[in-house]
Amino acid sequence: MDRPDQKQRGITTPPENPDSLLSSASNATNAAGGTTGETASASSTLRKEIRVWTRDLLIAIGLALVIIVFLYQPVKVEGTSMAPLLSDQERIFINKFVYRFEPIQRGDVVVFWYPADHSKSFIKRVVGLPSETVQIRQGVLYVNGKVIPEPYVPPQYEDNSDYGPKTVPNDCYFVLGDHRISSNDSRVFGPVPSQLIYGRAVFAYWPVDHFGSLETTEADTK
């Protein structure tokens, strides 16, 4: 028979090392804390990225507004003198500063103050440059005696009457409407001084079926 003190020792479980218990608890706490920290870090990173994207978007919108307000100007076309390129009530953008950096060229569609009334604006196409001689014979445009092709004038819009010859004064431009038979242009009010020209038509934005660039290639003298 076992001794009583031996039985007691047999059923008694020795206590674990207190240091070991503390170590385990600490590891568990660190593990839990690590998970929470990673989540918080990811959330902080996401918030930071959202702030960066928001800032960049606002900067982009601000720059776009500055460009539109100071470089481009929206205007509404009234009348059909530039048909079929532009229709009545069409909305376009004009570049207000382009001619500060480059010269006016033949073929440009320009916006200018009407020479007879500076409170009104007209939009026409430049066909004659300073010091050039412009003449129209049976609807065909001649500059310095050479034919200027005008593919932008459809046959049904041609005007078969004669004009000129007329020499364009220095620092002035001869302008015509593409809808030649119904256009009030330099044939009526004469060449336009350069200081009255304040922009070039560059882009149509309304109606949507006319959406697109209005830039044209300079007509070649042939």
Q: How confident is the prediction along the chain (222 residues), in pLDDT tens digits per residue?
A: 444 444 444 444 455 554 444 444 445 445 445 556 667 787 888 888 898 899 889 998 888 777 777 788 899 999 999 999 999 999 999 999 999 999 999 999 999 999 999 999 999 999 999 999 999 999 999 999 999 999 999 999 999 999 999 999 999 999 999 999 999 999 999 999 999 999 999 999 999 998 999 976 444 433
Q: Are residues 64 and 86 located together in one domain of the fold?
A: no
Q: Are residues 156 and 205 located together in one domain of the fold?
A: yes
Say if CB 175 and CB 127 are below 8 A apart: yes
Q: Are residues 63 and 79 located together in one domain of the fold?
A: no
At 27 the three-state DSSP class reads: helix
Q: Are residues 30 and 115 located together in one domain of the fold?
A: no
* The pLDDT value given to residue 23: 47
CATH number at residue 192: 2.10.109.10
SS3 readout for 150-206: CCCCCHHHCCCCCEEEEECCCCEEEEECCCHHHCCCHHHHCCEEHHHEEEEEEEEEE
Euclidean distance between CA atoms 217 and 66, whole angstroms = 28
Q: Are residues 144 and 34 located together in one domain of the fold?
A: no
Domain boundary among 70, 85, 101: 70
* The pLDDT value given to residue 9: 45
Euclidean distance between CA atoms 94 and 145, whole angstroms = 32
148: domain range?
A: 74-213
Q: Domain tally for the chain?
A: 2
* The pLDDT value given to residue 219: 45
* The pLDDT value given to residue 34: 52
Strand ranges (E), the chain: 72-76, 91-95, 109-114, 117-128, 133-137, 140-143, 146-147, 163-167, 172-176, 192-193, 197-206, 212-213
Q: Are residues 47 and 152 located together in one domain of the fold?
A: no
Domain boundary among 55, 70, 85: 70
Q: Are residues 65 and 79 located together in one domain of the fold?
A: no
Euclidean distance between CA atoms 109 and 180, whole angstroms = 14
Q: Which of 150, 158, 89 is nearest to 123 (CA)?
A: 89
Domain-located, residue 191: yes
213 token code pair: 């660039």
* Residues designated as active site: 81, 124
Q: Are residues 30 and 58 located together in one domain of the fold?
A: yes
Domain-located, residue 222: no
Euclidean distance between CA atoms 144 and 131, whole angstroms = 9
Place of tokens 């119904």: 182
Domain-located, residue 220: no
Q: Are residues 89 and 159 located together in one domain of the fold?
A: yes
